[in-house]
Structure 1
Amino acid sequence: MSSVRRLRPVWADATPDPAGRPVQLSLDELGTPLAEVTFVVVDLETTGGTPAECAITEIGAVKVRGGEVLGEFQTLVDPGGPVPAFIQVLTGITTTMLIGAPPIEEVLPSFLEFSRGTVLVAHNAPFDVGFLKAAAARTGHAWPGNKVVDTVRLARRVVTRDEAPNHKLSTLANLFHATVTPNHRALSDARATVDVLHALLSRLAPLGITHLEDLATATDPVPEDVRRKRTLADGLPDGPGVYLFRGPGDEVLYVGTSTTSLRQRVRSYFTSAEKRGRMIEMVRVAQRVDPIPCATPLEARVRELRLIAAHSPRYNRRSRFPERMPWVRLTSEPYPRLSVVREVKAGDGATYIGPFSSAATAQLAVEALHETFPIRQCTRKLPLVAAPGASACVLVEMGKCGAPCTGHQGPGAYAEVVDRVRHAMVADAAPVVEAHADRIAWLVAQERFEEAATVRDRLGGFLRGASRAQRFAPLATCAELVAARRSDDGGWELVLVRFGRLAGTARVDRRTDPRPAIATLQSTGEQVEPGVAPATAAHPEETDLILAWLGKPGVRLVAVDVPWACPVRSAEGLGDPATAVAALVRPRLAPDDGAPVVRLPGAGTERELDIAEARPVTLELDDARVIPFSIRPPRTA
């Protein structure tokens, strides 16, 4: 059923290496060179053109790598019925020839073993692979999922109508002077397809298609000037790191990162996988790519953030200005107030939460606290003793403020309110969540759904800011933290963090004791000046990356110089607004199966909402659980 033979490769620039194996000189050392890929070129003969109604009568395949034929596979197959007359005329395979041939149930396992771990090649591959997949499904075999190359599609890419009237196998075999003439027998056609494949690869090489990864997108409609620039990826390492596209004046156009392979990530910019117009524009301007190899994926992500902040590349859209990320501050003065500020100041005695992604989100957090607590909303600084003749604003009549501006609320009483606000900001956000849950329920009962969505967004803004501050605060005061995590190869990823900033990282293999590497990391790591808590000494997104890494399964704390913890009832523990509301609002009535559905704008799930004075309804929020709610009048502070 199988044999081995030698085939002289027809690649134009093929030549033997020192070991005598033919290779293609135009291939470089990046990716998986096509000369190192094992192809199985397959051809089928069948009783018709539809896998659901027809059967395979013959399988022929040639296994080839680097121009050398490694083996051949050929067998007739009993289709389980007669061969149509026109198929007998076309292929020469008669019903009599197939008497005693093995059925597909016996043949397919042998072919799957022959092609295991290879790239399948066929002329009009959807036809041949479609029949093979259908046969696998009928016989109960799992399809292995080999990569597939279609020589018809490759030919359409490089063979013009001036050279050949069509892209049939016989036409291409004649064009490329194949050593075997196709004759509608499986093995002969597979041998001819091998010659056609090699000729096509020789034509594709000058277009930069020299690796298996390139071949996957060789037929994609990529602009010629973009595809030719894939040589910018030559020489890039196959590991995690950061890459910088530079323009004609050596300016940084774009900074990107890869957590697995710099080479593969950069090469993707020159294929149809890259569909962003601004990236295609950037590639056309770029003159070179500078790589920065990194020891770990975490280091790569952090370096990307730092380089974006340092260079402000015009094609990057990530946060380039960390100093513009706002905070919410509870001031330290005789009658403190809430405000949105751009930085955390040392020694001012204020309480901060954040940073927020935008000033609008920070303002939502301020509104959430104002909605929950009767803290003053005026912006001027008030004296300890109210001025004679001072008048209060309308908030006093609404019960939203105790009027310290007129002396109706003294420093002691106001300080109690401020203590509750501060506690909600840094420790326990439950009062804010409860107040907003009641408000949402009340608004839904009144069928004021747009307002209910606004309240939900306000609560979400507060929880995100408070959660971030509570997660940042321990790292901001931690002079040194060392952690380790098992890598996929059994080694260790080592991380050194100082005041919330990545100060060093390393990687050791599974045969190396990590303790000397940790000691070296601690002695050579970056010296970091502390920030002003809860702000860390790093870009907020860098600290987020570090916290996400520290929270991964399997991470071990090796050394930490201060306790690292968050409040038990923190905003971080409460989670998203919808979950927080569901957990803290107590049900009164069992949900009614016939309850009508009410959709809260911007959300997408169902929760049961019991209206004591009317009827049950279903409030759609953010997950698929059905949770009973009870309506209560909105609480006043």
Structure 2
Amino acid sequence: MQMVQETFEDLGLALADVTFVVVDLETTGGSPSGSQITEFGAVKVRGGEVLCEFQTLVRPTTPIPPFISVLTGITNTMVADAPGIRTVMPQFLEFARGSVLVAHNAGFDVSFLKAAAAETGQAWPGFAVIDTVRLARQLVHKDEAPNHKLSSLARLFCATTTPDHRALHDARATVDVLHGLIARVGNLGVHTLEELQSYTSRVSMAQRRKRFLADAMPSAPGVYIFKDGRGEPLYVGTATDLRRRTRSYFTASESRRRMTEMVGLAESITPIVCATALEASVRELRLIAEHKPRYNRRSRHPERSVWVKLTAEPFPRLSVVRAVRGDGAHYAGPFASRRTAEAAVTALHEVVPLRQCTTRLSARTTRGSACVLFDLGRCGAPCIGEQSVEDYALVAEQAVSALSGSSRQVMSTLRTRLDVLAEQERFEEAGTLRDRMMALVRAAARAQRIRPLASASELVAARRRDGGGWEIVCVRHGRLAGASVTPAGADPLPVIAALRQTAEVVEPGTTLPEETELVLRWLETPGTRLVDLDGTWTCPVDGAGASRAVLEPQASTWSGTDHLDPSPGRALDRPVGAVGGGTP
């Protein structure tokens, strides 16, 4: 078995084992852009014990201002024979190597240290940094100390050295302040360097106490499920690294109020390791739809999606339905709400004279009288025998084309009508028609986009992994039926054969649109190769997707007086992308 050395971030380095270098600098001014360091003071500590100290004056290249000499007691005469920064900086970096830097108002000291490193040609090691001012602001209340200055905190924590603006004295006082602050966070459950670095008073006690829930998470891609004490899912999410992601819920990086509430209720986290990120995303969708966790906001109710259906009968009509069935009808959608679906239906009725009655008509059905739509010329009245099945089929074909094939004719007619309304300054009607047209084109484009994949019995595709090898997916009727990966340098064909043998059996008509769109985005990623396809991969060049590509950028800025360019042969003829061919 191969052993893997876990990082300190994974394990959590106990504060008692951390080597801190507490540093303080005296300078000629407040900014490294125009000032220089005049004194270093540093104390190395571990486990509450002082290991060694570092102190030296530094000779600046410009005189020390008088007010700085009054503040620090460091004069030009004192630094005249001191070493320059080119000598001192390498010595300090060697002293601090492998440690965590600590300073009071660390931004000030670290900015001077980085500038000195750059000036002397030294690479900045990227130290982890702890700022005692930031910690004190969260742990020391106003009734304990008047402010968070080093002198005030030194008195509060009974420091053995009084800070006096000399670097080593201030560093020694900061050591005592650091130990006092660590004692306080220890009582709050903070015991590792990682916890100290991410500590904030905004993190609730419930979050800190439950951090152990993430300890058993693997460092692998997959899905995680927070569960309550009864084992009911509270929240489902995905991660490229399950351990790293779940640990973040117990730190300051998680600031969402509902997630804080969720963590307070959680009693366990269940990991599901996945072969690929695509598999993880699909599993997340399915689990959310199945369990409907109360803290997930999206994808909880795919069954509430609605579709526009052109029925399969002698005289087809449009209806709004909850599911797609293999009944020979034509569908567009899904729509997020019944309101938008009905808007799309109205848009089609604007230009296609379909019957709008709900009675099922046979080829021989006749009624006594037609509805008002016949009088308005918006229906051929097949209900009273004024229109034959053959004649009505030509009308229905226009709707079929708009939903499943070319949308050029319907969109052109709608755009012409929109222009007429705008010219007549009937802006409210134009706005309503615009919204209906966009609802129609968006839904038809979505349906046309997923239809080829949903109708294909099986599709196998592959994509190279960054570290070598291949990601392999098997898709059946638009659903992910299986996924696998191959090692770098290995022949992928045996893995593909095994995947096809073990992949999930998917029945036609069980497509979940969100899942199919996830798979499509993966397939359209550059470098993806189509290995095998049992079906037809086509999409109409002048379908709803092409119309949407033209109209969508204008949708948010249209006004009633905007004129859309209906000229054929321009952007509407733009071909859609396709998955690259070939085999791995």
In structure 1, the residue matched to 2:307 is 327
* TM-score, normalised by the number of residues in structure 2: 0.80
In structure 2, the residue matched to 1:379 is 358
Matched AA of 2:466: D
Verify: 1:352 aligned to 2:328, yes or no: no
In structure 2, the residue matched to 1:415 is 393
In structure 2, the residue matched to 1:405 is 383
Provide, for residues 135-156 of structure 1, a one-character-per-residue CA deviation record: whole Å limited to 9, x for no partner. 8999999999876531222234
**Alignment CA distance shift 1:40-1:257 (3 Å):** farther
Q: How does 1:597-636 map to 2 (within 5 A)?
A: 603-604=556-557
Identify the match of residue 473 of structure 1 among 428, 433, 451: 451
Verify: 1:392 aligned to 2:371, yes or no: yes
1:354 partner SS: strand
**Alignment CA distance shift 1:511-1:65 (3 Å):** farther
**Alignment CA distance shift 1:189-1:252 (3 Å):** same
Q: Give distance in 2, aligned partners of 1:396 and 1:102.
A: 101
Matched AA of 1:442: V
* CA displacement at 1:252 relative to structure 2: 1.9
Identify the match of residue 127 of structure 1 among 108, 128, 137: 108
Contact 1:472 1:543 in 2 (8 A): yes
* CA displacement at 1:68 relative to structure 2: 11
Contact 2:9 2:194 in 1 (8 A): no
Count, aligned residues: 560
**Alignment CA distance shift 1:473-1:202 (3 Å):** same
**Alignment CA distance shift 1:307-1:389 (3 Å):** closer
Matched AA of 1:603: S
In structure 2, the residue matched to 1:238 is 219
* TM-score, normalised by the number of residues in structure 1: 0.74
Q: Which moved more, 1:90-99 or 1:414-423?
A: 90-99
In structure 2, the residue matched to 1:93 is 74
Verify: 1:227 aligned to 2:208, yes or no: yes
Matched AA of 1:543: T
**Alignment CA distance shift 1:352-1:65 (3 Å):** farther
Verify: 1:427 aligned to 2:405, yes or no: yes
In structure 2, the residue matched to 1:530 is 507
Q: Give distance in 1, aligned partners of 2:424 and 2:125.
A: 58
* CA displacement at 1:319 relative to structure 2: 2.6
* CA displacement at 1:39 relative to structure 2: 6.8
Contact 1:326 1:359 in 2 (8 A): yes
2:484 partner SS: strand
**Alignment CA distance shift 1:285-1:571 (3 Å):** same
Q: Give distance in 2, aligned partners of 1:562 and 1:37.
A: 61
In structure 1, the residue matched to 2:461 is 483
Q: Which has the higher helix share?
A: 2
Q: Give distance in 1, aligned partners of 2:49 and 2:525.
A: 47
In structure 2, the residue matched to 1:507 is 485
Q: Give distance in 2, aligned partners of 1:179 and 1:524.
A: 71
Identify the match of residue 286 of structure 2 among 262, 283, 306: 306
Contact 2:454 2:477 in 1 (8 A): yes
Matched AA of 2:285: L
1:554 partner SS: coil
**Alignment CA distance shift 1:156-1:349 (3 Å):** closer
In structure 2, the residue matched to 1:318 is 298
2:471 partner SS: strand
Q: Give distance in 2, aligned partners of 1:430 and 1:512.
A: 48
**Alignment CA distance shift 1:73-1:406 (3 Å):** farther
* CA displacement at 1:418 relative to structure 2: 0.9
2:225 partner SS: strand
Identify the match of residue 365 of structure 1 among 337, 344, 347: 344
* CA displacement at 1:372 relative to structure 2: 2.6
**Alignment CA distance shift 1:139-1:332 (3 Å):** farther
* CA displacement at 1:463 relative to structure 2: 2.2
**Alignment CA distance shift 1:472-1:152 (3 Å):** same
Unaligned 5+ residue runs, structure 2?
1-7, 568-584
Q: Give distance in 2, aligned partners of 1:367 and 1:477.
A: 28
Unaligned 5+ residue runs, structure 1?
1-26, 583-601, 610-616, 620-626, 631-637
Verify: 1:287 aligned to 2:263, yes or no: no
**Alignment CA distance shift 1:435-1:202 (3 Å):** farther
In structure 1, the residue matched to 2:572 is none
Contact 1:476 1:530 in 2 (8 A): no
In structure 2, the residue matched to 1:8 is none
Verify: 1:252 aligned to 2:233, yes or no: yes
**Alignment CA distance shift 1:57-1:246 (3 Å):** same
Contact 1:30 1:263 in 2 (8 A): no
In structure 2, the residue matched to 1:266 is 246
Q: Report the RMSD for the aligned CA atoms in angstroms.
A: 4.3
Q: Give distance in 1, aligned partners of 2:255 and 2:467.
A: 34
Matched AA of 1:485: R
Q: Give distance in 1, aligned partners of 2:173 and 2:93.
A: 22
Matched AA of 1:91: T
Provide, for residues 523-542 of structure 1, a one-character-per-residue CA deviation record: whole Å limited to 9, x for no partner. 3222x23223xxxx343221
Identify the match of residue 494 of structure 2 among 516, 521, 528: 516
Matched AA of 1:571: A
Q: Give distance in 2, aligned partners of 1:452 and 1:64.
A: 74
2:237 partner SS: strand
Among all aligned residue pairs of Structure 1 and Structure 2, give the percentage whose two residues are the same amino acid.
57
Contact 2:367 2:383 in 1 (8 A): no
In structure 1, the residue matched to 2:542 is 569
